[in-house]
Structure 1
């Protein structure tokens, strides 16, 4: 398939049209694949199935949905089975390292080598995803399918309101602009809440629950303040002075988030955004996409997107970090017949490749967010305003097909905000022990928010639990696995 045979190098910014074929141009022998996916990722493999069957002799026979919280329970037994029930699996990237550690994911480097131009594809995947969620111990085990990232969503009409601008300037002696630092974000949150709460509008809301996700919204603040999960010797870094400062900031923001702020869950933050209750929201990039219909077009067109705030440094620069929480990878189990593995790789690779994924990341019934360079171009922004040519509306699973946003300007702003954050993307933990680390950190952060513990006490408790987790799993084993995180972080220039 790839490269010079179907896409000139200059075209990698977009405009991919040539059909990717299996190695040697020979079709598969009508291989039908079964796959597993978490239920919040949607339907692209199903609508691509018939086209892939015609082009390459590989299609989808069936899929099995599982709840994302049950990923390990649903996926791990199949990887360890001599006869897995799936031919490929899509799963949240939090579990990538744990699954790779089993030795039962098929290494993919030799498969990529069969396709001319595959190196261009690998270079096309954004480094914030490629370096952490596809590679393990210097081998490739995953293909990116979904590039989650936290971004700052905001309502342009409030920041552009002359009366609010005048009041803010009088109070803070500076212009009302989208905040670039966390102290400024706190000021804006307090200001909007105090000015607009009588109308049912608040500055922001922060995800606190479930704790397994809430920690990631604190980590946006903490990572930009220089906090890392561990040092190279697996000593926790989550209870440092900078970490405590970040938790104090998180708590202070929540104080101005209105009723229920201290126990806010993911669904409540969605409801607040789509109802127009929040002026700002630090959330995943797709918040402004899947809520368009509920918001109504007028409100949806007032959405803006920008980089998650950071902390000002001594030289005047601002250190930003946006957590790439969740994300999705596709992998192939080792214990399959070779022809099935070849077909599964083809399906995953072609679906991830820009010739296909440029369309699906802009489709409301896909569930994938941008993860490759061409996903952020003007051409891709236009796709958010148009029908997806890969499918019709002849299925109850995807009954409409008219684009997500009304205007190019809104789509372009959406992608600009996403790109700014991907360029400073900070990975979640994704090695063995991830569920335990997430629970310990999120649970204790929640206790600090509710006032049961001080910020220092909460993070000390979390760090103590992390030490026990490391000891239980084996410090040498954890150090070796954590080195994958460190290697990726060094490539991206992060200070660890």
Structure 2
């Protein structure tokens, strides 16, 4: 599955360096005198850092602290947790202060552009250039994350820590059930298969609901609330149909093309959901999946990870993942787009002493680096999902079956240390599905105004779901609000910021 399958992280970096040496040149991104990593000596004078993180990201900096203190003389002194939804309120005043309370900060990536736009994040390109093999690392970060959540105006201001992506979760036993297969084939004149298109997904949702709801089992639950997140699940459908946020002149396009048709499909899926489907929230979708009450769920990749801990072996091993359904094109091809919604980036404030900046960069770089993050993303006490190439494949799947060697169990924050999955095939399928979706990953908003755009779109979509507005009316209302938001924030500034989205999307081959 991974592009570097069969290579250990050490072999990959050593191989890149050896290839450059054989060519008589230097490793890309390496300057003369660049420091090797790990350095084999202390680069810093036992500097202890303070950092901010959203409370759902858990504990990896704390268990990595003694490793990096030993490796290079930098560790963690303290952390401050905040609710992820309060990221702007908690972080922005600190960035704008003369001396922030944090030495580095982790935040949801949808706020990356807003923070970079302040001019108060430290540019990181020169820091990367100080270390051998840094270009190998940058190429190792999956493009769906690197192009949107680390770069701003052609400079690097962030380091990836978490690669959230939507995937299609499903219960395999229902698709393998001979009785259900026979009924589905008679009704739809085709085999019962994991849905490949959104219309297939509607049919499967309706079928399973009508066949199994008497047992308390439904076809699917689709997130609607909170509205500032619910829009992202509609966008899985809409983006695959070619719907985009704005044109290059910052005119909203969320109400154009197949936008209303895609919202009709979203509403149709919800119609066949369980009681309360019209206001389904994130927590309820988790509970339903953990209890085995839904056959399918379009959700973030880690649904199967934290669900397996709550279920018996039979239910846990029945979980499978696949690429999100796509849009069937006129030529018979299918376009898939999976939302990279939320994610997490780490950055350094400008207004701190230079020696602290140097140490903070080393810490977040090494934490993100595969030397540490290969095991980190496979740990239930981390909160990070895969974001780099070696986070996928057979070797990566094996890490989900074993204890994390980076930490023990001698802390109240992590009371166990065992593999997430019990079965290699389950772990491998989990990562295969993740990679398939990352390769068609579609970015969320990540520029200034994100909370307002998200609220306007999600709120009007909810009105369509409740029947208060038609799909077209709801999207027209949202587009009108978006135009006003762009004008309020400054149209020229918004157009310039939006260029970061356009440039990244075109690098991924998307038509914008």
TM-score normalised according to structure 2 size: 0.93
Mapping 1:84-483, distance limit 5 Å: 84-483=100-499
Per-residue CA deviation, residues 167-200 of structure 1 (Å, 9 max, x unaligned), is 1011111110000100000000000000000000
Alpha carbons 2:42, 2:73 under 8 Å: kept: no
Alpha carbons 2:147, 2:504 under 8 Å: kept: yes
Per-residue CA deviation, residues 142-161 of structure 1 (Å, 9 max, x unaligned), is 00000000000000000011
Alpha carbons 2:379, 2:404 under 8 Å: kept: yes
Alpha carbons 1:201, 1:276 under 8 Å: kept: yes
Aligned to 1:16: none
Deviation at 1:11, TM superposition (A): 11
Deviation at 1:291, TM superposition (A): 1.4
Deviation at 1:21, TM superposition (A): 3.0
Q: Aligned pair in 2 of structure 1 residues 291, 465: CA closer, same or farther (>3 Å)? A: same
Per-residue CA deviation, residues 23-74 of structure 1 (Å, 9 max, x unaligned), is x954210100000000000100000111111111111000000001100000
Aligned to 1:7: 14
Per-residue CA deviation, residues 233-265 of structure 1 (Å, 9 max, x unaligned), is 111111114000010000000000010000000
Distance 2:17 2:307 in 1: 35
Distance 2:450 2:320 in 1: 33
Deviation at 1:6, TM superposition (A): 6.1
Alpha carbons 1:96, 1:329 under 8 Å: kept: yes
Alpha carbons 2:243, 2:257 under 8 Å: kept: no
Distance 2:67 2:472 in 1: 56
Deviation at 1:316, TM superposition (A): 1.2
Per-residue CA deviation, residues 70-118 of structure 1 (Å, 9 max, x unaligned), is 0000000111111100000000001000000000000000000000110
Aligned to 1:489: 505
Alpha carbons 1:206, 1:269 under 8 Å: kept: yes
Alpha carbons 1:6, 1:20 under 8 Å: kept: no
Distance 1:408 1:45 in 2: 27
Mapping 1:40-51, distance limit 5 Å: 40-51=56-67
Alpha carbons 1:34, 1:63 under 8 Å: kept: yes
Per-residue CA deviation, residues 441-472 of structure 1 (Å, 9 max, x unaligned), is 00000010011111111101000000000000
Q: Aligned pair in 2 of structure 1 residues 48, 88: CA closer, same or farther (>3 Å)? A: same
Distance 2:312 2:103 in 1: 40
Distance 1:372 1:5 in 2: 13
Deviation at 1:296, TM superposition (A): 2.1
Q: Give 5+ residue unaligned stretches, structure 1.
A: 13-18
Paired residues in the alignment total: 488
Secondary structure of 2:284's counterpart equals helix
Per-residue CA deviation, residues 186-216 of structure 1 (Å, 9 max, x unaligned), is 0000000000000000000000000010000
Secondary structure of 1:363's counterpart equals coil
Per-residue CA deviation, residues 383-416 of structure 1 (Å, 9 max, x unaligned), is 0011101011111111111110011100000001
Aligned to 1:20: 37
Secondary structure of 1:417's counterpart equals helix
Distance 1:20 1:411 in 2: 30
Aligned equivalent of 1:60, options 61, 73, 76 = 76
Alpha carbons 1:21, 1:27 under 8 Å: kept: no
Aligned to 2:28: none
What RMSD, in angstroms, separates the aligned Cα atoms of the two structures? 1.6
Per-residue CA deviation, residues 367-397 of structure 1 (Å, 9 max, x unaligned), is 0000000000210000001110101111111
